């Protein structure tokens, strides 16, 4: 289930995202580079130029933070996104991999910031990413059982 965050937790997430924005191009670049190294077969699902793809991931993170109070809406959007990802080669194994890697890259991205409650904030990012991937996997599951 997509997590419910308190007002204070949402402030921590949004505050750290502001710090993360200038680093996101690097973060997403590293994420895809690592993904293709670990799972070379996945590369064929993506366009040659990854710039747009990186932007989509960043936009999705921004949209998640924007609509974080609306849990039902977030769940619905993520399940739909997960359904579309079945044909994008996103397997459960890849989601499991991505949850760990993306959380780690975000941790590295924000740890240099002089943020209050850094450890808590990293934990919140982990929850957010895991919650989002879990909803996408639920969507993927419903897609493969209904088609």
23, burial (CB in 10 Å: exposed 0-12, middle 13-18, buried 19+): middle
**Rounded Cα gap, residues 97 and 59, in angstroms:** 21
CB nearer to ligand HEM: give 14 or 84.
84
Size of the site for ligand HEM (CB under 6 A): 20
Query: Which pair of structure tokens corresponds to residue 12?
Result: 């921590």
Phi and psi angles of residue 50, each rounded to the nearest 5 degrees, phi first: -90, 0
Is 140 an interacting residue with respect to ligand HEM (CB under 6 A)?
no
The single residue listed with the structure tokens 């937790």 is 9
Question: Cβ 143 to ligand HEM, closest distance in Å?
Answer: 12
CB nearer to ligand HEM: give 1 or 47.
47
Is 132 an interacting residue with respect to ligand HEM (CB under 6 A)?
yes
CB nearer to ligand HEM: give 8 or 67.
67
Phi and psi angles of residue 99, each rounded to the nearest 5 degrees, phi first: -60, -45
The single residue listed with the structure tokens 């932007």 is 55
Query: Which pair of structure tokens corresponds to residue 123?
Result: 């934990």
Binding ligand HEM by CB under 6 A: which of 25, 26, 45, 116? 45
CB nearer to ligand HEM: give 42 or 65.
42
Is 46 an interacting residue with respect to ligand HEM (CB under 6 A)?
yes
Binding ligand HEM by CB under 6 A: which of 94, 113, 115, 118? 94
- Closest C-alpha to 41, from 78, 82, 93, 104: 93
Give the residues lining the site for ligand HEM (CB under 6 A).
Answer: 42, 45-47, 53, 56-57, 60, 81, 84-85, 88-90, 94-95, 98, 132-133, 136
């Amino acid at each position: 289930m997509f997590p419910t965050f308190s007002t204070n937790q949402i402030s921590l997430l949004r505050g750290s995202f502001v710090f993360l924005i200038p680093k996101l191009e690097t973060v997403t670049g590293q994420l895809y580079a690592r993904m293709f190294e670990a799972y070379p077969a996945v590369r064929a699902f993506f366009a040659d130029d990854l710039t747009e793809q990186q932007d989509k991931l960043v936009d999705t993170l921004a949209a998640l933070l924007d609509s974080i109070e609306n849990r039902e809406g977030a769940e619905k959007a993520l399940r739909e996104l997960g359904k579309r990802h079945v044909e994008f080669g996103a397997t459960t194994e890849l989601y499991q991999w991505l949850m760990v890697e993306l959380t780690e890259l975000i941790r590295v991205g924000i740890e240099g910031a002089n943020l209050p409650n850094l450890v808590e904030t990293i934990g919140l990012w982990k929850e957010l990413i895991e919650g989002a991937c879990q909803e996408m996997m639920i969507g993927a599951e419903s897609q493969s059982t209904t088609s």
